[in-house]
Chains A and B, each alone.
Chain A
Amino acid sequence: MSEKIIRVEHLQQFFPVGGFGKNKKYVRAVDDVSFHIEKGETLGLVGESGCGKTTTGRSLLRLYEPTDGRIIYKDQVLFDSGKVPLVDENGNDIIENGVPKLGKKTAVNMYPYRKKLQIVFQDPYASLDPRMTVGDIIGEAIDINKIAASKQDRHDKIIEVLKTVGLNSEHANRYPHEFSGGQRQRVGIARALVVDPDFIVADEPVSALDVSIQAQVVNMFEDLQKERGLTYLFIAHDLSIVNHISNRIGVMYLGRMVELSESGEIIFRPLHPYTKSLISAIPVADPRVSRERSRIVLEGEVPSPLNPPSGCHFRTRCKYATEQCAMEVPKWREVEKGHFVACHNIERIN
């Protein structure tokens, strides 16, 4: 059995957006999201802008303090609000004497875990300090985590990691502006790698890059995974890239996870109406295929997360929506082995 390296249970992340007392308003950026990631696998997270995929990645590293939920790294509970039910092996809530059994309130000091859990940011132009040399940017990670025995060791570590990401030792003395976009993203990856992590959140690492450079970076992610047994949470809005790199894919819509399964399943046999339209909306770079296939073009736009629709968030754009969809939030359930969906009407639609 493979080891679950990250478990996220009932994660919620609300941001206050004005108002006082009872009228205080919140954006429900992430609303009751649960998933796990196994060792050595890549979980892709896709969705439109504002659906909460980046927030999920950041909350799970506790770059934001989650509003509610539980985050477990290997066997260590990193965060537990104490208000959500414990979850058993199969992902079901544990019920004792008719009431859900809650976890114990926990919030560990993340410092020792930062070494193991790292992140690569989206924009390689904004995420590197322009006044620091690349060597110092990477060296800072080494210093903070105190992983170098000596100055020489620190230097060697920097050079080694630069080589790992396809740069060379001479680059250590240069500043970020001297690099191209693809090279900068390599620096961002080097910074994450130098502390020897187990798990990396890759937050849209290629979307700012040109097509021909994207493939270089994607391949590097794959090579590093093979060499070092890394685990990724790969966040992107480009489904074709996510499909390429991921073992499993989670689809998010307006703060909630709507579907999660093996990547092939998601692409070829999507069950949720939103996933279906998302996949059919992607322009395929093959004229013959794109001429033949029929597209489901969604009407309307994503509603504001400040004021999401009641019940199922997707119902305002869903052609299958019923009264039930407006009343109840659909349950997150496993319809087939490893294939999770949140939709009332799965059986009717498929």
Chain B
Amino acid sequence: MSKHLVDIEHERLSFFTPAGEVKALDDVSFYVNEGEVLGVVGESGSGKSVTSYSLMGLIANPGKIIGGDLYFNGYHINEMSEKEMRKIRGNEVSIIFQDPMTSLNPVYTIGNQIMEVILLHTDKNKKEARERARELLTLVGINEPDKRLKQYPHELSGGMRQRVMIAMALACEPKLLIADEPTTALDVTIQAQIIELMIELKNKLGMAIIMITHDLGVVANICDRIAVMYAGKIIESGLTDEIFYNPKHEYTKGLLKSIPKMYEADYERLVPIEGTPVDMLNPPKGCPFASRCDSCMKICLREMPPVKDFSETHYSQCWLNELEEDNNTEGESVCLKK
């Protein structure tokens, strides 16, 4: 068996809505090594949050995992009961949500909420738990921890609340931390503080992080590897440098071109990806990106491209990469847009 901390193999997950089945995840596979930061990028609705929620067993009705296997640290997640799941959730794997304003309970003090995690997962008594909570607040850079422990969430600023969320997530020194857009709701200067904090804590505690975000800047800053998602599929994955400097999927290329570069002296017009994301209720046959792709070919509309490896870490799913080498599919490679 591999030594990956997380192994997700061919996961399929659907939401059974009154309007029909939404295939939120369609054959998603990825892994996370110990102590590694994996960035998951994609547009809203591409399935990036769902992927990691399912890893924590947080998928509620009408969502259902309908195929594949999820392994985390030796546990077979999708075969565990809710009771077993509760033991590792918040203990070995924990999560920071996007919006620190709504994910803290407004009627309990900060101290209460951090201590709850500690009391639940360790055999510390209340006094020890309070001590640990104090320690954690200091760790995440909150001053006057004793005062803060007695405060309620509304008394803290956004950045401060996000620090509390991180403190809670780290309470049991998890092996894996899932960060779901941890900085999106924050201002840039506060965002920089939080990112700095996360890097520092990662180095100190050696945990792995799955960083879910749509901000390519954040990804470039802290991730070792990146998985790019589009319409419920991972269409490309590789080391950060491979994705940024040698993208192999048209969507990734488009994404990189559509963001303005800060340090470019000359003005360069942005190249947007035309069109809108696919309707997940009626996903198209073939490659989901075909309708927005400038190099869309006949075959793209009919069949999902196979996975092609470029290096040990870098793979992508795009017909363009296949046809460069394979000339037998002539006629299929006619570009429909030109």
Q: Do A and B bind each other?
A: yes
Chain A interface residues toward B at CB < 8 A? 48-49, 180, 182-183, 210-216, 218-219, 222, 237, 239-241, 243-244, 264, 267-268, 277-290, 295, 297-298, 301-302
Q: A284-B220, A284-B263 are in contact. Are A214 and B258 (CB under 8 A)?
A: yes
Taken together as a complex, chains A and B put the C-alpha atoms of A19 and B75 apart, in Å, by: 59
Interface residues, chain B, CB within 8 Å of chain A?
A: 43-44, 157, 159-160, 187-193, 195-196, 214-221, 240-241, 244, 254-256, 258-263, 265, 267, 269-274, 276-277
Knowing A240-B259, A240-B261, A287-B241 are in contact, say whether A281-B189 is a contact too (CB < 8 A): yes
Residues of B within 8 A of A289 (CB): 220, 263
- Name 15 A/B residue pairs within 8 A (Cβ), A-sorted: A48-B188, A214-B259, A216-B274, A219-B269, A222-B269, A268-B265, A278-B189, A279-B262, A283-B221, A284-B221, A285-B216, A286-B244, A287-B221, A289-B263, A297-B193
Closest chain A CB from B166 CB (angstroms)? 16
Contact across chains for B262 and A240 when beta carbons are under 8 A apart: yes
Q: How far is the CB of B319 from chain A (nearest CB, A)?
A: 20
With the chains together, A268 CA to B263 CA distance in Å?
A: 8
Q: How far is the CB of A219 from chain B (nearest CB, A)?
A: 6
In angstroms, Cα B258 to Cα A240, docked, is 12
Taking A215-B271, A219-B272 as contacts, is the C-beta distance between A290 and B221 under 8 angstroms? yes
Q: In the bound complex, what is the Cα–Cα distance between A210 and B251 (angstroms)?
A: 13
Once the chains bind, are B157 and A211 in contact (CB under 8 Å)?
no
* Partner among B159, B192, B241, B277 whose Cβ is within 8 Å of the Cβ of A281: B192
Closest A residue, CB atoms, query B43: A210
Q: Known contacts A267-B263, A287-B244; decide if A215 and B188 are in contact (CB<8 Å).
A: no
Measured CB to CB, the closest approach of chain B to A53, in angstroms, equals 12
Contacts of A240 in B (CB 8 A): 217, 259-262
- Which chain B residues lie closer than 8 Å to A267 at the CB level? 262-263
Contacts of B160 in A (CB 8 A): 301
How distant is the Cα of A241 from the Cα of B259 in the complex, in angstroms?
8
Interface residue from B188, B255, B258 paired with A282 (Cβ < 8 Å): B188
Which residues on B sit within 8 Å (CB–CB) of A285? 216-217, 219-220, 244, 256, 259, 261
Known: A219-B272, A277-B189. Contact between A211 and B262, CB under 8 A?
no
Q: Do A302 and B192 touch (CB < 8 A)?
A: no
- Our pick among B187, B273, B277 for the contact of A215 (Cβ within 8 Å) is B273
Nearest B-chain residue to A317, judged by Cβ: B189
Other 10 A-B pairs with CB < 8 A, given A49-B187, A216-B274, A284-B263: A48-B188, A180-B276, A212-B43, A212-B255, A277-B189, A284-B217, A285-B244, A285-B261, A298-B193, A301-B159
* B261-A286 in contact (CB<8A): yes
Residues of chain A contacted by B191 (CB below 8 angstroms): 281, 283
Q: Which residues of A contact B189 (CB under 8 A)?
A: 48, 277-278, 281, 297-298
Most A C-beta atoms less than 10 A away, residue of B160, B190, B196: B190
With A and B bound together, what is the CA distance between A216 and B215 in angstroms? Answer: 17
Which residues on A sit within 8 Å (CB–CB) of B265? 264, 268
Known: A212-B272, A213-B272, A216-B272. A283 touches B187 (CB 8 A): no
CB distance from B87 to the nearest CB of A (A): 36
Is B259 a contact partner of A211 (Cβ separation < 8 A)? yes
Q: How many angstroms between the C-alpha atoms of A146 and B113 in the bound complex?
A: 58
CB pair A281 B260 closer than 8 Å: no
In Å, the complex CA distance between A337 and B246 comes to 42
Determine whether the beta carbon of A287 is less than 8 Å from that of B188: no
Q: How far is the CA of A214 from the CA of B260 in the complex (A)?
A: 10
Task: Give the residues in chain A near B272, CB-CB below 8 Å.
Answer: 212-216, 218-219
B193, B196, B270, B271 — most chain A CB neighbours (10 Å): B270
How far, in angstroms, from A121 to B88 measured CA to CA in the complex? Answer: 45
Flag if A212 contacts B273 (CB, 8 Å): yes
Give the residues in chain A near B216, CB-CB below 8 Å. 211, 285
Residues of B contacting A244 in the complex (Cβ-Cβ under 8 angstroms): 260, 267, 270
For the complex formed, measure the closest distance between the CB of B130 and the CB atoms of chain A, giving whole angstroms: 26
Closest-by-CB residue of A relative to B156 is A301
* B256/A182 in contact, CB under 8 A: no
Q: Which residue from chain A places its CB closest to the CB of B241 in the assembled complex?
A: A287
**Residue of B189, B215, B217, B256 with highest tally of chain A CB at under 10 A:** B189
Residues of chain B within 8 A (CB-CB) of A286 are 220, 244, 261
Residue from A268, A279, A280, A301 in contact with B157 in the complex, judged by beta carbons closer than 8 Å: A301
Chain A residues, Cβ within 8 Å of B271: 215
- Please report the C-alpha to C-alpha distance between residue A214 and residue B272 in the assembled complex, in whole angstroms: 8
Q: Do the beta carbons of B276 and A278 come within 8 Å of each other?
A: no
Q: How far is the CB of B182 from chain A (nearest CB, A)?
A: 13
CB <8 Å contact, A219 and B270: yes
- Bound-complex Cα distance A280 to B119 (A): 41
Which residues in B have their C-beta under 8 angstroms from that of A48?
Answer: 187-190
**4 tightest CB-CB pairs across the interface, nearest first?**
A283-B217, A215-B272, A244-B260, A215-B258
Return chain A residues, CB-CB under 8 Å to B259: 211, 214-215, 240, 285
- Closest B-chain residue to A214, C-beta based? B258
CA distance A182 to B276 in the complex (A): 8
Question: Closest residue of chain A to B243, judged by CB?
Answer: A287
